Every structure is written in structure tokens, then in C-alpha cells.
Chain A
Amino acid sequence: MTLRNVYASKEGKAIGMGGLAVILLVLPRLLGGNDYLLQVATMMALYVVLASSLNLIIGFTGMYSLGHGAFYGMGAYTSAILSVNLGWPFWITMPLGGLLTALVGAFLGLATLRLRQTFLVFGTLAFGEIVRILIMNWSSLTRGPMGIPGIPPPKVFGTELTSSTHYYYLILVYAILMVFAIFRLYYSRIGRAWVAIREDEVAASSMGISVFGYKILAFTISCLIAGLAGAFYAHFVTFISADQFGMGESFLILTMVALGGTGSIAGPIIGACILIVIPEAFRFLAEYRMVLYGAMLIVVIVLKPEGLAGIKGLFMPTTGGRRRTTLFRREPKVAAVKAGGSQ
């Protein structure tokens, strides 16, 4: 018996993973050089990373954040400024972007000392907006609303990565590494501490888990990953501006996590893939495209509130939630039971 056989059997997972890996590796071939689909796949991979990293905060540790767009942007801006202004290579600026974001994330993690639930949502949202406004106004560093054009693409062994296939593989490697890292963290002493905090902070602290320390750790790692993703994005699009990292991005990433399912490894991956594919698949609807997108979001969340691949009942407090359910969702009486009982 494996440690986590609660969630899925290891053999099945291994086969699935192997198959998936093969498909992902030969995808550019499969698509026959269709760069459009490759671009969609690249975006999926990027958002898989972003959503998975946010899941560290929301799904594992049970906190909230609506500032992920800003973290992502911070990584992008740091890397872009360093490489455009100082001419540093991608392989140096990218980790620096991640580190700076992680630092800010750790700082924001301090806020979790005082903020909970919805207040944390708004605290992080306001923080994200402050970052955006600063980027817009700090023209001498960020070029303000003009954005930063001409960000050099990354180089590998002296050759610039320019084709869609290059980018695809680069982000694929990055995404696999990050998801793998998140996976390993989740199934480790650290992941258990996070989940313990999510489940019951008081009990976790009496088990010797430093609640505050692990919350900050979750924020730091999550922001590190998002910052790295931002840096990648900057060198991928070669032009960034503040409006690419606004609230809309934060909403999108949060939605991916919630739709896919909080607290599981697969959830954010599924959520990210769906929310990138759906708008593409709905293109034929023209101006009703986003109407349907919104409607779909509502319907899915109402039908499967824990998300498509989430853990059923997660975040339902064992006592409070149950009582609320019985109070508000009156299930129809089962006639047979009553007949049997009233002899």
C-alpha cells in the first residue's frame, strides 16, 4: 500500500503520467507544425504553472490570494528590466525575477498573520493593484504605460530560442519541473504541514508545526514559481506592459484553480487547460463568446463546487458545514424509510 493511495493508485498514475509525457514530448510533431495549437499549448503550460503555484496558497495551505497577477508581473518586469537595461542573459535575469518575487511574496505572507478569508482576498487584490499602479507611475524604471519592448529571447548554448517549438519545449520543461517540484513538496513533510494548517491551524500548531512560518513558506514558494513564470513570459512575448498583469490575470488564475479543483495536483492543471481552451473553442460565437464563458463558469462551479478534480467536501468544515447543509439544503424525504419507521 502506498502512502497516498487514498487519492489514486500509483500504478494507474504512473501509466497515465508516462503516456502524458510521451504525448507532450511529441506534441509539436502531432500538431504537424501548427504553431497556433502549439501556442495554445504553450499558454496552457504557462498557466498550468501559474495555477499550480496559486494552488500552493489556496488549495494546500487554505489561504486566499488575488494578487497572483501582480506576482507574475513582478517576475516579468524584473527579468525584462535587467535584461533590457543591463543586458544580462535570460538565465540570470529569470532566477532573479523569481527571487525578487519570492521576497515580496514572503513579505506579503506576513499579512496572513492578520488577514483571513475574504479580507485576505481583498488585501492581496489591493496589493496587486498597488503594484500595477506603481509600475504605471514609476516611469524611470518601468517605462510606465509605454511598457518594455524588445526583450531579448532566451539563448541556449549560444542560439536564440525563437521558434514556437523552442518555446514550447522550454516552457514544457519548466512546467514539468515546477509541477514535479510542487508534487514532491506536497507529498513531503512540508506538504503535510501545509495541509495540516489548512485542516486545523490550532491542531497543527500543537503538533509542533509553525503555522506562521509555513504560511510564509507557501507564499514564498508560490511567488517564486509565479515570478519565474512571469520572467519566462516576458522573454517569450518580448513586450510587456502593466495592463498584462492586472486584476484580470489574478481572477483568471484563481478561477483556474477553483474550476479545476483546489487542493489536488491535477486540479489546477485541468483548470488551466480548460480555461485556455474554452475561449479558443468558443471563437465561433463572436461577441457572445465571453457571455458563454461566464455562464459556463457559473454552471460548472454550481454543479461541482469543489472543482472538476477537487476533493469532494474539502473546505467544508466537518461540523459547521454539515449543519449548514442540513439546514439549507433540504433533501426530499425518503418515503420508504418513513413507511418502515412508522409502524
Chain B
Amino acid sequence: MIMEIAKLEKHFGGLVAVQEVDLALAAGSIHAVIGPNGAGKTTFFNAITSIIPCDSGQITWKGERIEKLSPQSISAKGIARTFQNIRLFAFMSVLENVIAGTHNHFRSFVWGALTRNARYRREEKESREMAMALLEKVGLAEKHAEYARNLPYGEQRKLEIARALASRPDLLLLDEPAAGMNNTETEELEQFIRALRAEGLTVLIIEHDVKLIMGLADRITVLDHGVKIAEGTAAEIQNNEKVIEAYLGKRRV
């Protein structure tokens, strides 16, 4: 288990967004979190990455407790993420967005930037090459000079993934990566995520596109109103009564 989450809880005022959720993540697996809108999935992600501090619970990453760390430290530990409502650096070029993702892998600071010494030049070159390689991978290499804000929706999603990968993470958290993508793009995405797993990356994914999830995920966790109601393989989930009732909706009226 690369990450273990125990009894994670987050309240907003009186509202319980995430309630005592446990989750164990196997290294090299694709794990999906699904649930109806407002089930607390994004809050769950935000709590894992410390963007909002959790109220209680433990998150263990490679044997180390990380729930009290800052977002940047969590990133430094090798956890990267994308956002549901795309948070690119709009007024940076596509390439720079990805280079910004490599931030933690380089050390040159004010002095290096001012003098452009050997280390700085090496690091800049390295980071640029790394970023370009990632852009090639997601198919955005040609648009590397555009402002990120000028990309179409689907490409912005790809760019966000490339940016997250730039920090060379061991775990990638994807928050609805297929939202706003058309069918071809979604299929490409699926292939892409599989390829990432093949490279040894662990992926935790929130998705609404059930088709994508069912075909992709090794394990699925279902949240409803902040509570974990089921976990298992795709087949198990699809046959779980609780899931069908709460998430897929029982026949009403």
C-alpha cells in the first residue's frame, strides 16, 4: 500500500463533507472514487493534498504521516493533482505551465537566476526538455508557446495533467479529467492513463464518466454524502445494491 487513509473527516460548518473515509491505495494501481454530485469527492481530494486541512483522520504516505503538511510539501513528497475546474496559470505559456510543475526538482535560486551560472543553465535546459517531452506525450508540443488560457477545454485538461506529471509524482490525483472532453479525447485519455500505470505511476481518479471508470479502474470507491458506501472492482460495484440505490438512483416516482 503506497497510501493509507484512515477515518478522514472534513466539516464545513454543520455540513459533513467527508465522514470517516478509509482508503488504501495499492502502488501502481488505478483507483477511482465515484459518487453523485456533492458526494464529497473533491473535498476528499482537497483534504489529501492539504488544500483544505482535514479535521481529523490520518493519511499515511509510504509509511509517513502527511495530513498536517502544507500543499507544497505534499507535492514534494511525490503527490501531484489536477483540478475539477481546471486551474492552469492562464497568463503563462503552455510550456511554462509545465515547467512550473517541475519547480521542486530544481534548486537554483536568486543567485543562479541573476548570474545564469552553469547549474542554472543546466537546470533550465533540463526542465525545458522535460516539459517538452511531457507536452509531446500529451500532444500539445506544437502549442507550447500559446497562453494556456487560449487552449480549448479538452487541451487545457491535458495540459493540467502534463503539468502535474512534471513534478515526477508517484501518485497522480485526477479530478474529473474527462469532463468536457469528447468521445475521442476520452478514449485517448484512457489510453494515456493506462500508459502512465504501465510506467509505474499510481493513479487516484474522480470521474463522472462511468464508462471510462469501469473500463479503467482496478478498484473503485463509492462515496455518497461524504460516506464511503462501497469499495471493490468494477464488477463488484456494478452489482452492489447500495451503490445502485444511492448513486445510480433507485427507480423513483
Contacts A6-B147, A190-B109 given; indicate if A196 touches B92 (C-beta within 8 A). Answer: yes
The A contact surface, by secondary structure, is helix
Contacts A195-B92, A318-B90 given; indicate if A208 touches B72 (C-beta within 8 A). Answer: yes
Q: Is the CB of B75 within 8 A of A208?
A: yes
Q: Is the CB of B103 within 8 A of A209?
A: yes
A263 to B91, CA, bound (A): 10
Q: Mark A305-333, 1 if CB is under 8 A from B, else 0.
A: 00000010110001100000000000000
Q: B39 interface residue, CB < 8 Å from A?
A: no
Q: B59 interface residue, CB < 8 Å from A?
A: no
Q: Mark A52-91, 1 if CB is under 8 A from B, else 0.
A: 0000000000000000000000000000000000000000
Q: B212 interface residue, CB < 8 Å from A?
A: no
Q: Mark B120-146, 1 if CB is under 8 A from A, else 0.
A: 100110011000000000000000111
Q: Is the CB of A189 within 8 A of B128?
A: no
Which residues of A have CB within 8 Å of B147?
6
Which residues of B have CB within 8 Å of A217?
110
Q: Is the CB of A208 within 8 A of B104?
A: yes
Contacts A5-B145, A209-B100 given; indicate if A184 touches B89 (C-beta within 8 A). Answer: no
Closest Cβ neighbor of A6 among chain B residues = B93
Q: Is the CB of A192 within 8 A of B75?
A: no
Q: Is the CB of A195 within 8 A of B103?
A: no
Interface size on B, residues (CB 8 A): 47
CB distance from B52 to the nearest CB of A (A): 10
Contacts A181-B114, A207-B163, A263-B91 given; indicate if A189 touches B103 (C-beta within 8 A). Answer: yes
A221 to B85, CA, bound (A): 33
Q: B96 interface residue, CB < 8 Å from A?
A: yes
Q: Is the CB of B116 within 8 A of A202?
A: no
Chain A interface size, under 10 / 10 to 19 / 20 to 34 / 35 or more: 35 or more
Q: Is the CB of A4 within 8 A of B93?
A: yes
Contacts A189-B123, A211-B72 given; indicate if A199 touches B90 (C-beta within 8 A). Answer: yes
Q: Is the CB of B89 within 8 A of A195?
A: yes
Contacts A1-B145, A188-B120 given; indicate if A203 touches B87 (C-beta within 8 A). Answer: yes
Q: Mark B51-90, 1 if CB is under 8 A from A, else 0.
A: 1000000000000000000111011100011010101111
Q: A193 interface residue, CB < 8 Å from B?
A: yes
Q: Which residue of B96, B113, B149 contacts A3 across the interface (Cβ within 8 Å)?
A: B96
Q: A206 interface residue, CB < 8 Å from B?
A: yes
Contacts A189-B103, A195-B92, A206-B81 given; indicate if A184 touches B113 (C-beta within 8 A). Answer: yes
Which residues of A have CB within 8 Å of B99?
192
Of residues 134 to 193 in A, which have CB atoms within 8 Å of B's CB atoms?
A: 181, 184-185, 188-193
Q: A280 interface residue, CB < 8 Å from B?
A: no
Q: B101 interface residue, CB < 8 Å from A?
A: yes
Q: A205 interface residue, CB < 8 Å from B?
A: yes
Q: B108 interface residue, CB < 8 Å from A?
A: yes
Q: Is the CB of B113 within 8 A of A188?
A: yes
Q: Is the CB of A6 within 8 A of B106?
A: no
A202 to B80, CA, bound (A): 13
Q: Which residue of A188, A205, A314 contacts B51 across the interface (Cβ within 8 Å)?
A: A205
Q: Is the CB of B75 within 8 A of A206?
A: yes
Seen from chain A, the residues whose Cβ lies within 8 Å of a Cβ on chain B are: 1, 3-6, 181, 184-185, 188-193, 195-196, 198-200, 202-211, 217, 221, 263, 311, 313-314, 318-319
28 A-B pairs whose Cβ atoms sit less than 8 Å apart in the complex: A3-B128, A6-B147, A181-B114, A188-B112, A188-B113, A189-B103, A189-B124, A190-B113, A192-B96, A192-B100, A193-B103, A196-B100, A199-B89, A199-B92, A200-B89, A203-B88, A203-B89, A205-B51, A205-B70, A205-B71, A207-B80, A207-B104, A207-B163, A207-B166, A209-B72, A221-B110, A263-B91, A311-B91
The 3 closest A-B pairs by CB, nearest first: A188-B113, A208-B75, A208-B104
